Structure 1
Amino acid sequence: MRNFYYWLIILICRTYFSYGQVTDYHTSVEIKNNKVETTYEIKIKINDRKESEKYSEVEIFHSDQNELKIHEVYLLDGYGEKIRKLKKKDFSERSAKFSNTFFMDYMVTSFDIKHNTYPYFIYYKYSITEESALDYASWDPYLYYKLPTSNATLKITLPAEEKVRILNDHNIPVKRSSDKDEITYLWQVNNFKLLEKEAYGESPTNLAPEIIVLPENFDYIKPGSYESWKSIGNWQYNVIKDRNDLPETDKQIVQEICQKSSSQREIISKLYNYLQNNTRYINISIDKGGLDPYPASYVSKNKYGDCKALTIYMKSLLEEAGIDSYYTLVNAGEEIQRINRDFPSLQFNHVILAVPVQSDTLWLENTTNILPFGYIGSFTQNRYGFLINQDQSKFVRIPKLSNEDIKVISTYDFQLNENGEGKATFNKIAKGIEYEELADLNSVSDKNLTEEYIDDFIRLKNYVVNNWNIKKNNEDNHSLILSADLSIKKASRKIGPYIILDVPHYRFKKLNIPSERKTGLKFDIPIYNIDQYIYKITNIDYSKIQLPNDKVLSSKFGEYKQNFRIEGDKLIVQKSLKIYSGEYDKKSYQAFYEFTDKIQEIQNQSIIKLQ
């Protein structure tokens, strides 16, 4: 019996500890003599070959303007004994150039350290020293998304007279100690693991604890302060105010456009088209972390720029035309990131331009050559932007995409024999995200590459695309039309004496059962699809077709509709699905789960029988 319990304990322990983990993740920040030195001390446990392949190669990102010092890297066996120590020759360094990045002063120092006996540990320690910094620490208690962290700490040591601003959004306990010269803060989190990403849920990184430590005052490009949003706005205003050095040739072009235009809106539209036709977006991340924008003259000369430079150039063109516009900071991306307005700081990653026109505001995205004038896309819609105006900077709400803005209408016109074989024409009027994706595809010169993605927009089974075409919609410049000719291999199946027509279903992401749900629901962009399927089938008696019932299902989350009818020698099926944008707490998940489950049940029961 004693042996039984012994092996049971071993089995439980092996099961519990059979995954890799970051056993130690320590971050220490020291501010001294106007320098910020951040030291990282990390120890990772590797349990098998799969983890070894994924985590044994370590990459350290750093600016070449900062000093990187690697203190030591070594390998430990499963008992904690050192078995190998890396030397200088074992490290490699390269430029950290990413897609669409033309200039970048970031480097990657990397090393690869493996062992063929499991488990083993990787230990490394390094420091990065900055001459000046906009923040002292932006810390989360995890190193990898998939690995739990046993022990994570953040330690900040700064001069006693230094004033800092601290965000501790999960109220992690802090140990504070001080003497006449220094103050030290210490936070510790044990046994932390990020939640798994759940369908229609918020990103787990947004839900994780975070500690941010900022200097109250800083000197970064220009002197600034985090004391208030007003002080941040004034700092950003001072950074960009002298960048409007538009060359004389550009000024002449602006004046010519003004003379040939009959309204302010027409001038703005033509200048925006000029920007699109004569510049291109390239990420430039050099000097002060890429925060120091290039002036209008740089873009005029080189015909490219990042979001800051292109926005300044467009702003300068409008200024020459006598039109006011405002540099607006935004946290861009399809997932809307909340701005903590109680903690003044730089919580933004993108810049657009706000142009007041009478009682309206035009929002100009200056990095695109393919989206139309005044288009508010999924990247920036429905969130707060921070509009920069001397002493009057403020938060402004960027409009959200409505159901009509993102409505996608698809029509499938089938001509089939009684075996479900034949052909079909497909026509999609795409708006919203699908419009943006099609616009991107349409701009790709390699049509073979484009064709690989066309299937994503058709959403049928058992077919072949013979040819396809993307064209502008003359009735709406915020949409595109995708057309295709298809060969249909099988659109029906036989069950007993009946032929069952396979009408495509709306599909949802895989949902976990309500009792297992850990997070709420978040729909940043609404969904509105209308699909019409027109079937003309040979050798079928339309009078004997058994049609399902029409249905309408509504809830606070959205609406599902289906309609079946026969018009002459055609069977027509029309479906629509709406999902409204919004956020819901975990208590609402049960109702959403039941709503989607009911839609699937209705679709499964709506069988079209052909004799």
Structure 2
Amino acid sequence: MNRIITTLLSFFFLLNLSAQENYTSVNIPKELLTNSDAVIRTYEAEFIYKNKTSGIYKEKKIITILNKEGAVYASFGDFENMFRALNKFTGTFYDKNGKKISRITKKDLLRTEYFDGLASDAASFFSNSPIGIYPYTVCYEKEVVFKGGLLGFPSFFPLPGDNISMESGYYKIQIPETTEINYKSGKMEGPIKSVDKGLITLLWKTDSVKAFKAEPFSPDFSTLRPWLHVTNTEITYAGTYGRLDNWKTFGSWLYDLQKGRDMLPEKLKQKITDLTKECKTDKDKIKALYNYMGDNTRYVSIQIGIGGLQPMEASKVFSTGFGDCKALSNYMMAMLQETGIPAYNTIINSKSESLFEDFASAGQTDHEILTVPLENDTLWIECTNPKVPLGYIPRHMAGHNVIVITPEGGIFTKIPDYDDKENLSAISANLQIDEKGTISGYINEYNSLKQYEPYMYFQALDGKKQIEAIRSCIDLSNPSISNIHFSEYKEEKPYAILFYNISHTPPLNQNNQRIFIPLNIFRNGITQLPKKERINPIVIKYGYHDTDTIHITIPQGYMVESLPKELNIRSRFGTFKTRYKNEKNIITAIYDFIRSSGKFEPSEYEELINFHQEINRAYKAKAVIKRL
């Protein structure tokens, strides 16, 4: 025990000694300057657990800003609400030699209660660096007091983004011996544990973390940097009680929060009866109520008190016509229950596919949807956006882990995803080229599932915006677009059909005898990849299928002199095929591209570069026609 305490004391002595020298920029290790716009010299974080409802978080962060791009890391931000308050704050700025320039305190921070939702009890604090001469160093120190309930301890994410490195950092937690906690970490050493006078101290640290430079198709940034989550297993929050041992017990607590909030007024019950009395199946009933909700409610964010976790009463959603994701999901659940169809509120992270199955915490999820188990199917319903067809699983949900909140507790599961090939975009075009090289014709586009999603909003655009949207997908300078027809089919596997005419007056590239015709003006190519050493795994989250058939009638008096070489590429990253033919002065170009989703090793990056290059060359390829 004495050896552990001595180790801790030695560590803090050395850390404090180094911190005294960290205000100058001249002693940063060279390896931490590579790809860096800023360097965290030291990051000291500490959470002192007082009791089930309160604690104190202290943080000291020293950052050297190397250039203008790194200035974003010199800003400060924090917030207050009924559960936390910014108790103390100081910010001190130093020049490159470590000489103090200026100092600010809490009263100098910009305070705002602006919120883009309906209601919030939060206030935010901001400060931007006043220094414009690089390099310089800033030291921020703050103390945050937690009160009224704890749903976990503050998480530790010392690196806020790309192009910033860190010399040293630690997170220390102090709890009574009788307090149970769970924790999960990545790229952190520890914890080192010590016990003194009935208090447990846990210490995690991380040192010499090099800067991450953004790479195409990178994994989630959170998996590349040091991180730490800690939760208390016993919940006492805003007068409610529960446990956070795992997703099952956390789900039980959330289920208790929503109890009694599904009561419906008699007027709505009668409306439900009227809407569903002619329905023949449960799916028909669900669709009728889903459409009714979409027509009569709108999404707003509500973050007052426990409102970030507890849904607003269904009766209030009916009377006011609005609600956040929890309220609208709960409202839909209540209406379905009135018809005898069971449904369950479900929490999800809309930005990341994965949740830790073996570690439960409130901060891992950011959204709520509705799960409706049927006899031969399960519906996963997004209740905040009536544009989403019932039964369709949008991109921010497909393939994601979720926690279904049931009377028996939380159930960890995964939403199904669509096969890459099902996300289809098919273009059929009939074009003509005249003797001046002017192009004209008509186009028919079919887009389904994930490739349909951008078209959910097309019908609501005015004519000018529709033309702009179409032009953005065409590799010609300001073509004329006319005769637009759009049809949307909001089925469980939705799709949209877009028809339009095109003409392009500026002549194509030509000389006196030849015209050079771009064969596919409807695909702008795929990501151009830099040729450099790959550091991180390759993660392609979105797979799809593009197929194009383009007929081009050439002018009388011309013949086809050359067509591009046909391709048939098979790669672990997908497939790409082209075919070209010329019959009776009509060139037909056919393209078929399947992008495969998945995770790949850094060693396979060169193959991905070559795959992209060949595809981009094929999409840019031209036919040459010659005057007879």
TM-score normalized by structure 2?
A: 0.87
Q: Which amino acid aligns with 1:265?
A: K
Q: What is the distance in 2 between the residues matched to 1:16 and 1:262?
A: 67
Report which stretch shifted further, 188-197 or 475-484. 475-484
> Contact (CA 8 Å) 2:350, 2:366: kept in 1 or not?
yes
Matched residue SS, 2:76:
strand
Which of 344, 367, 370 is equivalent to 2:384? 367
Q: Which residue of 2 aligns with 1:141?
A: 158
Q: What is the distance in 1 between the residues matched to 2:27 and 2:411?
A: 60
> Contact (CA 8 Å) 1:442, 1:470: kept in 2 or not?
no
Q: Which amino acid aligns with 2:304?
A: I
When residues 533 and 480 of structure 1 are mapped into structure 2, their CA distance, relative to the original with a 3 A threshold, is: same
Question: Any gaps of 5 or more consecutive residues in structure 1?
Answer: 1-8
Which of 204, 209, 214 is equivalent to 1:192? 209
Which of 569, 575, 599 is equivalent to 1:583? 599
Q: Which residue of 1 aligns with 2:318?
A: 300
Q: Which amino acid aligns with 1:94?
A: T
Matched residue SS, 2:189:
coil
When residues 449 and 186 of structure 1 are mapped into structure 2, their CA distance, relative to the original with a 3 A threshold, is: farther
Q: What is the distance in 2 between the residues matched to 1:115 and 1:556?
A: 49
Which of 273, 293, 298 is equivalent to 1:255? 273
* 1:520 partnered with 2:540: no
* 1:67 partnered with 2:85: yes
Alignment of 1:527-546 (within 5 A): 527-542=544-559, 544-546=560-562
Q: What is the distance in 1 between the residues matched to 2:28 and 2:96?
A: 17
Which of 526, 532, 539 is equivalent to 1:508? 526
> Contact (CA 8 Å) 1:562, 1:573: kept in 2 or not?
yes
When residues 448 and 488 of structure 1 are mapped into structure 2, their CA distance, relative to the original with a 3 A threshold, is: closer
When residues 470 and 332 of structure 1 are mapped into structure 2, their CA distance, relative to the original with a 3 A threshold, is: farther
Q: Which residue of 1 aligns with 2:578?
A: 562
Q: Which residue of 2 aligns with 1:329?
A: 347
Q: What is the distance in 2 between the residues matched to 1:51 and 1:551?
A: 45
Q: What is the distance in 2 between the residues matched to 1:348 and 1:408?
A: 32
Alignment of 1:169-568 (within 5 A): 169-220=186-237, 222-288=240-306, 290-333=308-351, 336-346=352-362, 347-391=364-408, 393-444=410-461, 448=464, 451-456=467-472, 458-467=473-482, 469=484, 471-473=486-488, 478-489=494-505, 492-494=508-510, 498-504=514-520, 507-513=525-531, 516-542=533-559, 544-568=560-584
Deviations 1:570-599 (A, max 9, x none): 222111210122222334434333433444
The alpha carbon displacement at 1:180 in A equals 2.1
Matched residue SS, 2:283:
helix
> Contact (CA 8 Å) 1:463, 1:489: kept in 2 or not?
no
The alpha carbon displacement at 1:362 in A equals 1.7
Q: What is the distance in 1 between the residues matched to 2:188 and 2:176?
A: 24
* 1:91 partnered with 2:91: no
Q: What is the distance in 2 between the residues matched to 1:328 and 1:116?
A: 47
Matched residue SS, 1:269:
helix
Q: What is the distance in 1 between the residues matched to 2:106 and 2:596?
A: 56
Identical pairs, percent: 23
> Contact (CA 8 Å) 2:433, 2:439: kept in 1 or not?
yes
Q: Which amino acid aligns with 2:234?
A: N
When residues 518 and 491 of structure 1 are mapped into structure 2, their CA distance, relative to the original with a 3 A threshold, is: farther
> Contact (CA 8 Å) 1:141, 1:192: kept in 2 or not?
no
* 1:160 partnered with 2:167: no
Q: What is the distance in 2 between the residues matched to 1:591 and 1:14?
A: 29
Deviations 1:28-51 (A, max 9, x none): 111114412112212222344554
Q: Which amino acid aligns with 2:547?
A: I
Q: Which amino acid aligns with 1:214?
A: T
* 1:20 partnered with 2:38: yes
Q: What is the distance in 1 between the residues matched to 2:54 and 2:583?
A: 78
When residues 490 and 172 of structure 1 are mapped into structure 2, their CA distance, relative to the original with a 3 A threshold, is: farther
Q: Which residue of 1 aligns with 2:144?
A: 128
TM-score normalized by structure 1?
A: 0.89
When residues 161 and 599 of structure 1 are mapped into structure 2, their CA distance, relative to the original with a 3 A threshold, is: same
Deviations 1:201-260 (A, max 9, x none): 213233222111110111235322222332122112212222101111111111112322
Alignment of 1:41-120 (within 5 A): 41-49=60-68, 51-52=70-71, 54-63=72-81, 65-86=83-104, 89-98=107-116, 101-115=117-131, 117-120=133-136
> Contact (CA 8 Å) 1:166, 1:214: kept in 2 or not?
yes
The alpha carbon displacement at 1:330 in A equals 1.7
Report which stretch shifted further, 375-384 or 185-194. 185-194
Matched residue SS, 1:442:
coil
Deviations 1:59-80 (A, max 9, x none): 3233354221233222222222
The alpha carbon displacement at 1:341 in A equals 0.9
Q: What is the distance in 2 between the residues matched to 1:231 and 1:108?
A: 32
Q: Which residue of 2 aligns with 1:151?
A: 168
When residues 496 and 200 of structure 1 are mapped into structure 2, their CA distance, relative to the original with a 3 A threshold, is: farther
Q: Which residue of 2 aligns with 1:4?
A: none
> Contact (CA 8 Å) 1:29, 1:36: kept in 2 or not?
yes
Q: What is the distance in 2 between the residues matched to 1:440 and 1:63?
A: 36
Q: Which amino acid aligns with 1:230?
A: K
Q: What is the distance in 2 between the residues matched to 1:55 and 1:392?
A: 41
Q: Which residue of 2 aligns with 1:6?
A: none
The alpha carbon displacement at 1:450 in A equals 5.5
Question: Any gaps of 5 or more consecutive residues in structure 2?
Answer: 1-25
When residues 418 and 105 of structure 1 are mapped into structure 2, their CA distance, relative to the original with a 3 A threshold, is: farther
Q: Which amino acid aligns with 1:245?
A: M
CA RMSD between the two structures: 2.9
Q: What is the distance in 2 between the residues matched to 1:602 and 1:422?
A: 20
When residues 423 and 450 of structure 1 are mapped into structure 2, their CA distance, relative to the original with a 3 A threshold, is: closer
The total of aligned residue pairs comes to: 593
Q: What is the distance in 1 between the residues matched to 2:469 and 2:90?
A: 46
When residues 489 and 519 of structure 1 are mapped into structure 2, their CA distance, relative to the original with a 3 A threshold, is: farther
Q: What is the distance in 1 between the residues matched to 2:427 and 2:509?
A: 23
The alpha carbon displacement at 1:408 in A equals 0.7
> Contact (CA 8 Å) 2:32, 2:210: kept in 1 or not?
no
Q: Which amino acid aligns with 2:64?
A: K
Deviations 1:63-103 (A, max 9, x none): 354221233222222222323222555222102524xx222
* 1:40 partnered with 2:59: yes
Q: What is the distance in 2 between the residues matched to 1:602 and 1:410?
A: 16
The alpha carbon displacement at 1:295 in A equals 1.6
When residues 46 and 600 of structure 1 are mapped into structure 2, their CA distance, relative to the original with a 3 A threshold, is: closer
Deviations 1:488-544 (A, max 9, x none): 14574237954322223662213243x6111222222211111222212223434x4
